[in-house]
């Protein structure tokens, strides 16, 4: 569903919404409205990942369900940061043709640049942490399986 042509959609606000609440679909609701189906699919994996973090706190590092759920949270956060980068780096005329019904109203400035920088730093850190966590848990599981096979 295309956005309402009467409303101006700010590129800076969309970028920052993707940084701050992108993992729960806040940027999609801003751009496409409350009826956006993709926006409503964002919160569920994020909540599942947060549940994994809660399980890790409650049950410790040996909880295998948490091993699966925490990387989902990391991927959702990384995807939100990637979206913020894509929004921020989109040329103004393309942004306006897509979200402002072709009216030339966007003039990117420092808020967009700072949003992209923050998204790049957070996204890179979260993605590296997610890969490290998932890899560590996978190799620990492999060692556990090898020990069980020897016994």
* pLDDT given for residue 131 in this prediction: 95
The pTM score is 0.87
* pLDDT given for residue 7 in this prediction: 75
In percent, the amount of the chain with pLDDT more than 90 equals 75
- For 65, the token pair is 């369900």
Question: How many separate domains does the chain show?
Answer: 1
In 3-state terms, the chain is what percent helix, strand and coil (to 5)? 80, 0, 20
Query: How far apart (Å, rounded) are the C-alpha atoms in residues 38 and 115?
Result: 22
Mean local confidence (pLDDT), 46-52: 97
* pLDDT given for residue 2 in this prediction: 55
Query: Which tens digits make up the pLDDT trace of 19-47?
Result: 999 999 999 999 999 999 999 999 999 99
Any domain includes 5: no
Any domain includes 1: no
* pLDDT given for residue 101 in this prediction: 82
DSSP characters for 10-52?
-HHHHHHHHHHHGGGTHHHHHHH-TT-HHHHHSHHHHHHHHHH
Any domain includes 69: yes
Residue range of the domain that includes 20? 11-150
């Amino acid at each position: 569903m295309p956005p309402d042509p009467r409303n101006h959609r700010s590129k800076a606000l969309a970028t920052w919404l993707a940084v701050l609440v992108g993992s729960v679909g806040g940027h999609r609701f801003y751009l496409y409205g409350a009826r956006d189906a993709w926006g409503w699919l964002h919160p569920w994996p994020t909540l599942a990942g947060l549940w994994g973090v809660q399980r890790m706190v409650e049950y410790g590092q040996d909880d295998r369900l948490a091993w699966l759920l925490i990387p989902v949270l990391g991927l959702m956060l990384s995807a939100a940061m990637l979206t913020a980068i894509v929004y921020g780096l989109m040329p103004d005329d393309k942004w306006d043709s897509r979200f402002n019904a072709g009216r030339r109203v966007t003039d990117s400035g420092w808020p967009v640049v700072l949003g992209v920088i923050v998204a790049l730093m957070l996204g890179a850190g979260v993605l590296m942490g997610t890969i490290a966590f998932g890899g560590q848990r996978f190799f620990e599981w492999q060692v556990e399986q090898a020990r069980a096979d020897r016994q």
